[in-house]
Structure 1
Amino acid sequence: CPQSGYTVAVMNVGAPAAGMNAAVRATVRIGLIHGHRMLAVHDGFEGLAFGMVEEIGWNAVGSWTGLGGSKLGTKRTLPKKYFEEISANISKFGIHALIIVGGFEAFTGGLELVEGRARFEELCIPLCIVPATVSNNVPGSDFSIGADTALNTITTTCDLIKQSAAGTKRRVFIIETMGGFCGYLATMAGLAAGADAAYIFEEPFSSRDLQANVDHLTEKMKTTVKRGLVLRNERCNENYTTDFIYNLYSEEGKGVFDCRKNVLGHMQQGGSPTPFDRNFGTKMGAKAVAWITGKIRECSRHGRIFANTADSACLLGMRKRSLVFQPIAELRQQTDFEHRIPKEQWWLRLRPILKILAKYNIELDTSETAHLEHLTRKVLVPEATL
């Protein structure tokens, strides 16, 4: 390939997520096809500060598609305290653009880099963030790389756990999922595994709600129903802990059913990525490089790169089946930083279905005006060209 004379660095930030490696592989290979010199940064922003940077070639990322975790190494450290070192290394390694594949820290870290542009000229380079986290809590994207794999793990585990209640025993399982404050995993796994309740932070619940759930389940258990499944997001409520809910169900269900609890833990971050996450990561990686190449040309003046506009630091997100680039500065307003979640989340509209399938007597409004519009009305979106 004809050399472009530009150097693009790729890194992982945040917690590991299945599909990160597929995204890095696509980024490196498409970057090389575009004629760029590609650099791999190990261990996130810390690695960029301490110079853990090396050139990465075509063969170095071979067979990365099916690998879980993060081959580059990833850390949650934010860049603010390392601005001097990071700026020095951007100069030292001649980095012209940066692609960050990561979770919420990649987003907040990107915002910090943009803020640092006023003080450090070296940070005035095009920047692209590709959301990759099991929690699916990055603003600007309906999906993040790794969430599908985690969801598969949880659903499969719920299926396995439910089987242990087969036979004559009536049993209820309380299962705790990951996701921080974001209830995506608990809600979607609940929908997929047929849960009786899914407790999440976004939908506050009181002791009366818990009591109603227990009563409802107890009534169901008195019929032919043999097992119950209750999911709880890890940070849905600091007082109604998994132990509390387990104790409540155990006490109230005496004589009708017995109770078991399970905290799934870090198995949700591991495993090899599902085909969806592999392909999603590959598409996002390829798209990010194409955008970066255009931005480098746009921001190039006499062989030097200077990017300090809002649209030179973007997050690539999936919105209603289209892949779109959004300036990260604009996404700030859409974010609840205290709880590390977007202010609006599309999947919350699916929660009424969860209740109906658990045999609660509630009305489901699927009219055109209802919240479920994205399910009932198919809007034709021009397919994003890769």
Structure 2
Amino acid sequence: MTEFSLGSDTGLNVLVDVCDVIKRSASASRNRVFVVETQGGQCRYIAAMVYTTDMLTGMFHEEGGGLFDPRYASLGHLPQGGVPTPMDRARTARLSLRCMAFLEEYQQSLLAQPPKSRCAPPESAAVITIQGSALKWVPVTEMVKHADMKNRRGGRKHGGNLSRVGWRRCLGDRNRCRFMWGGLEFRKM
């Protein structure tokens, strides 16, 4: 229902910073590949990989045929830290203002009812969502219909087609490796 959650931009920026440090470390040695693991579980937004780091590192080592030296880094919950980005700060301010207006609106309608028969309407239980550039209210009853309660996420998978994405990484002037997400394919080109 929502396209972004608070903190997702900060988490991605923390990951980019850490990956830049890992890249500097890898560039000190020729033909080294790092596999980076992030948290994300079933969400597929930050963690798009469906393999474990140990499994990927093993596949790179086995299938690479000595072409490169694979290493792995597990970042764990590191993306939960960090200073909020300007984007997350702006979203927080927008969401806070809109939520306060929502609460005030429904409080006024409740106070207008007789004290002994006050009853909040079903639409007063809602979740604020970011859809495109707009903030929209989604009633909880509607949200539950579109949620994957088992995996604690929305029913619509953002980045669900990432398994079809091809990725190429240049390993130097003479050696190149091609890795396809749908299945591993190593080639020296």
TM range (shorter): 0.7 to 0.9
Which of 163, 184, 188 lines up with 2:45 in the alignment? 184
CA RMSD of aligned residues (A): 2.5
CA contact under 8 A between 1:299 and 1:305: conserved in structure 2? no
What residue is the counterpart of 2:145 in the other structure?
A: 333
Which of 135, 143, 157 lines up with 1:345 in the alignment? 157
Verify: 1:148 aligned to 2:21, yes or no.
no
Q: Secondary structure of the equivalent of 2:47?
A: helix
CA shift in 2, pair 1:312/1:264, >3 Å: same
What do residues 255-289 of structure 1 show as CA deviations (whole Å, max 9, x unaligned)? Answer: 21001111101221111101111110111011000
Distance 2:117 2:100 in 1: 16
What residue is the counterpart of 2:109 in the other structure?
A: 298
CA contact under 8 A between 1:174 and 1:261: conserved in structure 2? yes
Q: Which amino acid aligns with 2:150?
A: E
CA shift in 2, pair 1:255/1:183, >3 Å: same
Per-residue deviation, 1:315: 0.2
Q: Which moved more, 1:318-327 or 1:248-257?
A: 248-257
What do residues 109-159 of structure 1 show as CA deviations (whole Å, max 9, x unaligned)? Answer: xxxxxxxxxxxxxxxxxxxxxxxxxxxxxxx21101011100001111112
What residue is the counterpart of 2:86 in the other structure?
A: 275
Q: Which amino acid aligns with 1:355?
A: G
Alignment of 1:230-379 (within 5 A): 236=50, 240-300=51-111, 301-302=113-114, 306-348=118-160, 351=162, 354-355=165-166
Q: Higher relative CO (CA 8 A, sep ≥ 6), structure 1 or 2? A: 2
Distance 1:305 1:162 in 2: 64
Per-residue deviation, 1:305: 8.2
CA shift in 2, pair 1:357/1:243, >3 Å: closer
Distance 1:304 1:353 in 2: 58
CA shift in 2, pair 1:337/1:318, >3 Å: same
What do residues 346-375 of structure 1 show as CA deviations (whole Å, max 9, x unaligned)? Answer: 4436x38952666779xxxxxxxxxxxxxx
Q: Which amino acid aligns with 1:146?
A: G
Per-residue deviation, 1:163: 1.7
Alignment of 1:11-160 (within 5 A): 140-160=1-21
Distance 1:352 1:295 in 2: 44
CA contact under 8 A between 1:315 and 1:326: conserved in structure 2? yes
CA shift in 2, pair 1:254/1:162, >3 Å: same
CA shift in 2, pair 1:315/1:163, >3 Å: same
Q: Secondary structure of the equivalent of 1:179?
A: coil
CA shift in 2, pair 1:148/1:304, >3 Å: farther
Per-residue deviation, 1:318: 0.5
Q: Which amino acid aligns with 1:325?
A: W
Per-residue deviation, 1:181: 0.9
Percent of aligned pairs sharing the same letter? 31
CA contact under 8 A between 1:148 and 1:277: conserved in structure 2? yes
Per-residue deviation, 1:172: 1.2
Q: Which amino acid aligns with 2:89?
A: R
CA shift in 2, pair 1:356/1:254, >3 Å: closer
Unaligned runs of 5+ in 1: 1-139, 188-198, 200-235, 362-386
How many residues align? The count is 171
Per-residue deviation, 1:186: 2.7
What do residues 206-238 of structure 1 show as CA deviations (whole Å, max 9, x unaligned)? Answer: xxxxxxxxxxxxxxxxxxxxxxxxxxxxxx4xx
CA shift in 2, pair 1:325/1:241, >3 Å: same
Per-residue deviation, 1:306: 3.3
Q: Which amino acid aligns with 1:179?
A: G
CA shift in 2, pair 1:272/1:299, >3 Å: same
TM-score, length of structure 2 as denominator length: 0.80
